[in-house]
Chains A and B, each alone.
Chain A
Amino acid sequence: MDLKDKLISSFMAFENNVDIDHPVHDVRTEAMKNFEKRGFPSKKEEAWKYTSLNSLQKVDFSIFPKEENTLEYKNVKKYFLHEIDSYKIVFIDGIYSSFLSETTHDGVDICLMSSALTKPMYKPVIDVYFNKVASKDESLTSLNTAFSREGAYIYIPKNKMPKKPVEIVHFATGNEASLLLQPRNLIIVEENAELQVIERHQSLTSNEVLTNSVTEIFAAKDAVVDYYKVQNDMASASLIDNTYVNQRNKSLVKVHTFSFGGKLTRNNLNFYQNGEYVDSTMKGVTILGEKQHVDHHTLVHHIEPNCESHQDYKGIYGENSTGVFNGKIIVDKIAQKTNAFQQNNNILVSDRATINTKPQLEIFADDVKCSHGCTIGQLDEDALFYLQTRGIPKKEARALLMYAFANNVLESVRIPELKARINKLIAKKLGVRLGFDL
């Protein structure tokens, strides 16, 4: 049985475990129909031209983990930003771990999607927000919606700001030979409220894992959201991240994506500017080696006038790795005075590495500033020589240049401890010692 058929038949089993009378279940059923109709995307579709899911579909994934698993904090501490205090929403093989988590209802809700989807007190919020910005057409988003049951639920009321960042961490223990996870996150940041989130998916063994995640983010007027995705998973783990952001007037949302690990990673990052004076920022650092594959598909839809969007993605590709950047910007006719910037710079450090980069601009307004630039290059030989004449060996000089290349993306990271961590990850990924504290 192929994966699609298995998922379709699993849906019935899934229905035995959820409240099918809840209105959310109608949403799930609709979504399942869409997935049945569309199936997995194939390379024939323009949006999936460079990313094939064929081999993943041949894996016999477990869709529901057999048993609950536990992990000792000391064994997984390094995957948390343990240098600082944080709220934590932690899942082990898709199941919430109260032991590793630290949730709160003190003025803000930082808790579980499963509660939000079942408890009556959350119903008004779910009715307004659940599956409202996520695509109803895209098949993998539909697949996630169909099986949506667990994930992070964050609600920050007007004028509030949680005392500390929120970490959403998914562990896969390898208890199953191969595991499919479908976390569903809903994040609502009300007027003039603020939130910082760090999301991470971490497999702990070399058993195959596929995560198909959907995150919906709603930023109300004047809200500020900083979202950091740390993608440094095992070489046996694949991730399809579908993130949808809806922004109202004067809100500011930044998403940073750090892609260093994993087998296949696909980031579908979608921003909808449903307000004026909105600022959307997407930044990414991708450093790949071996046969890793990362595909960044971004969309910014400028729906209202006077908004800005900024995209800055840097990629360093070594060995046989492959990368994709596809940045789509739509400026509606009404969205005058739009400023949309997009930059994608890549360095290929191996003859066998590949990057496909494509800006896609659809502009219907006439008074806008849109710029885009893609570069693919090697390291600057003159810069290398310059560093070498100062006594820095070639390998370190290369690393320093690559570090420098990626560095300006890190400047906007607002959690210093996270910035330091990412710096260290970059140095580690580049396999060198840098002669200064990162």
Chain B
Amino acid sequence: MLKITDLHAQVEDKEILRGIDLLVNTGEVHAIMGPNGSGKSTLAAVIAGKEEFEVTKGSVVLNGEDLEDSAPEERAHKGIFLSFQYPVEIPGVSVTNFMKTAINESRKARGLEDMPANEMLKLIREKSEMLEIDRKFLSRSLNEGFSGGEKKRNEIFQMAMLEPKLAILDETDSGLDIDALRIVANGVNKLKSKDNAVIVITHYQRLLEYIVPDFVHVLHNGKIVKSGGKELALELEEKGYDWIKNEAVV
């Protein structure tokens, strides 16, 4: 589904990604771990199409299509979803109105009519219940004054609404207490199917107890320095990242 080849990216002449290779097939869950500043969030943003980052070499190919010239919204229409580490607060636009706009814009891009209002409401109800989101919450301004947990839950709610082919969860576990973590992870697990794929970006192993990865990759200095199965995450938890750093140097 997603094929990343020798990806180099920089921001303001500072190279952050230095040759990433990654292959994600449908039905798979990949975890990308690594110390702070290793380039995890940059990789997520580059896949989602953030213009601030300049891709200097290599490619990101989704279902056979090179995404080089695709704007972030076009990538979204093709099925990429990024759950933000720090979701942006947008006062003045309610969660519901935001979701309606997002869904109808995606439908428009696919040549479909707007989703009928009753269908939309049904979908919103269904997905918000799945994530145990209070109805009142949906009429509040997007992310404004939300707690860390509410923001992350709202991200996964959006993911549930948009049903992406490839979901990238950037530090979704940060700022979550154990109950919120469980709700968020359950949501992700319910959305997971043989037709889609998930990339979980995390610093800690904790989230991976709930969202069990098929593959774990360790990012260091803009490169994937080690890949393995889910047991690699446990090893990292035990030994810390220094072990990887040292190994990478060797």
Contact = CB atoms under 8 A, between A and B. Distances in A.
Interface string B197-240: 00000000000000000000000000000000000000000000
A389 B52 contact: no
B6 interface: no
Contacts of A382: 88
B11 interface: no
Interface in A388-431: 388-394, 396-397, 400-401, 403-408
A53 interface: no
A397 B51 CA distance: 15
Nearest to B86: A382
Given A382-B88, A404-B92, A388 B101 contact: no
Interface residue tally on B, bucketed by range? 35 or more
A389 B48 contact: yes
Contact of B72 (A385, A407, A408, A436): A385
Contacts of A83: none
Interface stretch (B13-21, B55-63, B77-85, B188-196): B77-85
Nearest to A434: B101
Interface string B109-122: 10000100000000
B93 interface: yes
B100 A400 contact: no
A435 B73 contact: no
B147 interface: no
DSSP majority for the B interface?
A: helix
Interface residue tally on A, bucketed by range? 20 to 34
B91 interface: yes
Contacts of A401: 90
Given A400-B93, A404-B93, A389 B101 contact: no
23 contacts: A385-B48, A385-B50, A385-B51, A386-B90, A388-B49, A388-B71, A389-B49, A389-B73, A389-B75, A390-B102, A391-B106, A392-B102, A393-B73, A394-B71, A394-B73, A397-B73, A400-B101, A404-B90, A404-B91, A406-B92, A407-B91, A435-B103, A435-B114
Given A386-B84, A393-B73, A436-B101, 16 more contacts: A385-B48, A385-B52, A385-B72, A388-B49, A388-B76, A389-B75, A389-B84, A390-B98, A390-B162, A400-B93, A404-B93, A404-B141, A407-B93, A408-B92, A435-B102, A436-B97
